[in-house]
A and B are shown apart, each in its own frame.
Chain A
Amino acid sequence: MSYTVTTQTSASRVAAIAGAIGIVVLIALPFFAGRGTIQDMFFILTMLVLAQFWNLLAGYGGLVSIGQQAFVGMGAYAMFGVVILMGFDPVPSILLGGVAALIVAVPTAFFAFRLNGAYFAIGTWVIAEVVRLLVAQWKTLGGGTGTSLPRDATRDMWFVELIQDMLGVRSAAARDILAYWLALILALATIGGIYWLLRTRRGLALAAVRDNTEAAKSVGVDAGRMKWIVFLTSAFGTGLAGALIYMQKARISPDAAFSVTDWTAYVIFIVVIGGIGTIEGPILGVLVFFALQSLLADFGSWYLMTLGVLAIVIMLVAPRGLWGLVSERTGLHLFPIRRTLSGGKLTSSED
């Protein structure tokens, strides 16, 4: 009998079916949910995308960046730039936002990869601040005070009229629904793409580099290339998310778009409390984060302090996050990547 390798478990098959149903519900959501719900879901989905990419960087690639706001801001500003200066439609301009973030990521990586650990983290933050200061000099896009998307650009945006007719809603609500659907596509593509990557031999290499870089090099893994792949992929995805977030906001300023609190600190919180190094972790984390924000939003700085204390408690009690607790107790993996060898002599020796 020959050997076989499986990654699926019965739990993951059930999860796949439940996931498919969930996706159908999410796609159909604008047909029965109000505008407030759609805006909340947009927030959850875009934060989820940012969290998944930060998790890819830090949890799988071992690259703890605190400068992801550079790519959010760059993606958003590039999108505003081509809309305002060149008259592009905002929807396809989101892609250009991702490309702009990718371009900024190349020199960023060139400098930051010379640093390790905490130095890398601080280095990425410094670079993000430099990018923010440079963008604030861009007078045509409002300099330090920022600017808004032109009214005709948002009104005539692709698909908006179609959504208005289809759902019988006003233009502003249709724009939110469009942004929501785009966020849903981005989130699904992100999770699907990362899951695919982890199941290829590149994913194995990533895990090997994370566990032991020297040993990985000694078995033929190109550790340097893995770091580049992960960093550039994360920058591109983060840039797309940034452009999409600011397409929905339709107003931008350097301080908001390059905010370390909004686009990196919250994102790290989501990944850490959810469970770093898993795809499930950020999904659980973003739901907890949203619930906390809804509950505590009226308490001002007490809200931030509560988040901080909670993050510390979870790091002490459950270093692998809430999902770590769940999967430890139940053995559950919704996105299994472990290759299980069976058959051959393994079957006969187990008898």
Chain B
Amino acid sequence: MSILSLQSVSKSFGALTVTDDASFDVPQGQALGIIGPNGAGKSTLFNLITGNLRSDAGSIHFEGRDVTRVSAMERCLTGIGRSFQIPQPFEKLTVYENLLVAATHGRNLSERAVRDDCADVLERTELLRRANTPAGQLSLLERKRLELARAMATQPKLLLLDEIAGGLTEGECQALIRTIKDIHAQGVTIIWIEHVLHALTSVVERLLVLDFGKVIGLGEPDEIMASREVQEIYLGIEV
């Protein structure tokens, strides 16, 4: 059964079409990678799925329910969690409080009820020793981890990661991959936009290629990476 289903979703900003008739399904429990050149509309596609933007046409179903017109807040409550490409921490709150906001509101529980779960997420994302540090004081890696941790604190069924490995050193990247694999192993469906291809292909089972807002390829990672269109359009290689 597919947890997420997009049918002919389109979005334009004025004359610029950023999502062009996108249709695809994500089976429950799968990890899907999204690649495409800069400006291909990857982050816009994410914003449409999370409800931070509204689509102009088409429909989006989550767990069989039509969520096309549902707000970002409610989509979070139904189980869609996300990280932002540019980390968006609540700067004046501590790391632990960032997770508390997400857990108490995303799961509609009291602070007391989510305390141990938040500490557990902090431990799994290796942020526990920074729990009481204001988020504004974190390093880039820690901010990226906080994006992941805050999304996890809402206990999403579907987790959307937007270039979470970008800008990290090789060692940091490996550590982050381990954390994401761990989350995936627990049955969370993942959609991951990433330019760091080796990080992406070490986790995902399927790849989707986006160019000029159109889905131009969807399939096994090896198959997609070897295809002529991807080589030409995405990697810019003359074949």
Which A positions have Cβ atoms within 8 angstroms of B? 2-3, 5, 201, 204-205, 207-208, 210-212, 214-223, 338-341, 344-346, 349-350
Instruction: Decide if B92 touches A221 in the complex (CB within 8 Å).
Output: no
Instruction: Decide if B111 touches A5 in the complex (CB within 8 Å).
Output: yes
Say yes or no: A211-B105 contact (C-beta < 8 A), given A3-B116, A204-B97, A340-B132: no
User: How far is the CB of B117 from the nearest CB of chain A, in Å?
Assistant: 10
Instruction: Decide if A205 touches B105 in the complex (CB within 8 Å).
Output: yes
Instruction: Decide if B102 touches A341 in the complex (CB within 8 Å).
Output: no
Say yes or no: A339-B73 contact (C-beta < 8 A), given A219-B153, A349-B129: no
Question: Which listed segment binds A: B24-32, B59-67, B82-90, B208-216?
Answer: B82-90
User: How far is the CB of B98 from the nearest CB of chain A, in Å?
Assistant: 8
User: How far is the CB of B111 from the nearest CB of chain A, in Å?
Assistant: 6
Instruction: Decide if B128 touches A346 in the complex (CB within 8 Å).
Output: yes
A-B contact pairs, 19 of them (CB 8 A): A201-B110, A204-B97, A204-B105, A212-B88, A214-B72, A217-B73, A218-B52, A218-B72, A218-B76, A220-B106, A222-B105, A339-B94, A339-B96, A340-B132, A341-B96, A341-B115, A344-B119, A346-B131, A350-B129
Instruction: Decide if B73 touches A220 in the complex (CB within 8 Å).
Output: yes
Main secondary structure of the interface of B (DSSP, over half): helix
**B100's contact among A204, A211, A222, by CB below 8 Å, is which?**
A204
Say yes or no: A207-B106 contact (C-beta < 8 A), given A5-B111, A346-B128: no
User: How far is the CB of A59 from the nearest CB of chain B, in Å?
Assistant: 11
User: How far is the CB of B76 from the nearest CB of chain A, in Å?
Assistant: 4
Say yes or no: A212-B90 contact (C-beta < 8 A), given A204-B104, A345-B123: yes
User: How far is the CB of B54 from the nearest CB of chain A, in Å?
Assistant: 13
CA of A338 to CA of B89 in the docked complex: distance in angstroms? 16
Say yes or no: A219-B116 contact (C-beta < 8 A), given A205-B105, A341-B132: no
Instruction: Decide if B82 touches A341 in the complex (CB within 8 Å).
Output: no
Interface set, chain B 89-148, CB cutoff 8 A to A: 89-94, 96-98, 100-102, 104-108, 110-111, 115-116, 118-119, 123, 128-129, 131-132
CA of A216 to CA of B104 in the docked complex: distance in angstroms? 12
* Chain A neighbourhood of B50, CB < 8 A: 218
* Chain A neighbourhood of B123, CB < 8 A: 345
CA of A211 to CA of B150 in the docked complex: distance in angstroms? 15
Instruction: Decide if A214 touches B52 in the complex (CB within 8 Å).
Output: yes
* Chain B neighbourhood of A5, CB < 8 A: 96, 111, 115
Instruction: Decide if B102 touches A220 in the complex (CB within 8 Å).
Output: yes
Instruction: Decide if A220 touches B77 in the complex (CB within 8 Å).
Output: yes
Interface set, chain B 135-167, CB cutoff 8 A to A: 150-151, 153-154
**A204's contact among B81, B93, B128, by CB below 8 Å, is which?**
B93
Which B positions have Cβ atoms within 8 angstroms of A? 50-52, 71-73, 76-77, 81-82, 84, 88-94, 96-98, 100-102, 104-108, 110-111, 115-116, 118-119, 123, 128-129, 131-132, 150-151, 153-154
* Chain B neighbourhood of A212, CB < 8 A: 88-91
CA of A219 to CA of B71 in the docked complex: distance in angstroms? 12
Residue of chain A at shortest CB distance from B97: A339
Instruction: Decide if B91 touches A211 in the complex (CB within 8 Å).
Output: yes
Instruction: Decide if B96 touches A219 in the complex (CB within 8 Å).
Output: no
* Chain A neighbourhood of B94, CB < 8 A: 338-340
Instruction: Decide if B100 touches A219 in the complex (CB within 8 Å).
Output: no
**A215's contact among B84, B128, B153, by CB below 8 Å, is which?**
B84
Q: In the complex, which of the residues A210, A219, A223, A341 has the most CB atoms of chain B within 10 Å of its own CB atom?
A: A219
Instruction: Decide if B131 touches A341 in the complex (CB within 8 Å).
Output: yes
Instruction: Decide if B90 touches A215 in the complex (CB within 8 Å).
Output: yes
Residue of chain A at shortest CB distance from B123: A345
* Chain A neighbourhood of B108, CB < 8 A: 220
Instruction: Decide if B116 touches A221 in the complex (CB within 8 Å).
Output: no
User: How far is the CB of A339 from the nearest CB of chain B, in Å?
Assistant: 6
* Chain B neighbourhood of A350, CB < 8 A: 129
* Chain A neighbourhood of B115, CB < 8 A: 3, 5, 341
User: How far is the CB of A196 from the nearest CB of chain B, in Å?
Assistant: 14
Say yes or no: A341-B76 contact (C-beta < 8 A), given A207-B93, A346-B131, A350-B129: no
* Chain B neighbourhood of A220, CB < 8 A: 73, 76-77, 102, 105-108, 154
CA of A341 to CA of B131 in the docked complex: distance in angstroms? 7
Residue of chain B at shortest CB distance from A199: B111
User: How far is the CB of B156 from the nearest CB of chain A, in Å?
Assistant: 10
* Chain B neighbourhood of A2, CB < 8 A: 116
* Chain A neighbourhood of B91, CB < 8 A: 211-212
* Chain A neighbourhood of B105, CB < 8 A: 201, 204-205, 219-222
Say yes or no: A3-B119 contact (C-beta < 8 A), given A204-B97, A338-B97: yes
Q: In the complex, which of the residues A201, A216, A220 has the most CB atoms of chain B within 10 Å of its own CB atom?
A: A220
* Chain A neighbourhood of B104, CB < 8 A: 201, 204
